[in-house]
Amino acid sequence: LERSQGGLGIGLTLVLRLVEMHGGNIEARSNGPDEGSEFVVRLPVFVPPPQEPPPKSDGPKATALSGCRILVVDDNRDSVESLEMWLQLKGNDIRTAYDGLEAVEVAAAFLPEVILLDIGLPKLNGYEVARRIRQQPWGRDMMLVALTGWGQDDDRRLSQEAGFNFHFVKPVDLDALEKCLDEEPPPI
């Protein structure tokens, strides 16, 4: 289990989404191959909305994209930071880990509702992390989502056997991930 991947492949996509969420745009320029790229981000000036009391509600249920505890685990720090920023902007409480042993320790202390977990991790691979978490009483009902560069049929079978609820191959489609996080996890 020593394969490696560059990242989630969502960096520029994440920036574009964030900029568009704020009513802005991005321009990209390059003089050609091996010349580098220049990205220009334009954001509008913020004008606060008029103050009105928020409508009363019965308190919508928290989803994975609003107010959940989520653990993000990947040995690629850029991938972790991108995902962490996106999930925090959605209103979640995020913790991170960068290897398998740290993931198990953080999960035991933080008790997340969702773990987004790479499989190709140092010290302890993602399959073993999932198995160890599922063996704990506190880990039986949490949602485990594989975010990995490993997408062969055997990889998917192994992730299901280890206890993952979902398996996504990098680069991750954020819309599909968001939809999965808002669902009840399927039984394992």
| Cα gap 93→108, rounded to integer Å | 15
Spatial strand order in the sheet of 69-73: 93-97, 69-73, 114-117, 143-148, 166-169
Helical ranges in 68-110 per DSSP H: 77-89, 100-110
| Cα gap 63→20, rounded to integer Å | 23
Q: Is the pTM value of this prediction over 0.85?
A: no
Strand (E) positions, 30-149? 38-42, 69-73, 93-97, 114-117, 143-148
For the chain, give every domain's residue range: 64-181
The yes or no reply on domain 64-181 and CATH 3.40.50.2300 is: yes
pLDDT at 173: 86
pLDDT at 181: 83
pLDDT at 93: 94
Q: Split the chain (188 residues) into runs of 10 and give each run's mean pLDDT.
A: 52 79 82 85 69 46 69 94 91 96 98 96 97 96 93 92 94 87 68
pLDDT at 60: 40
pLDDT at 28: 84
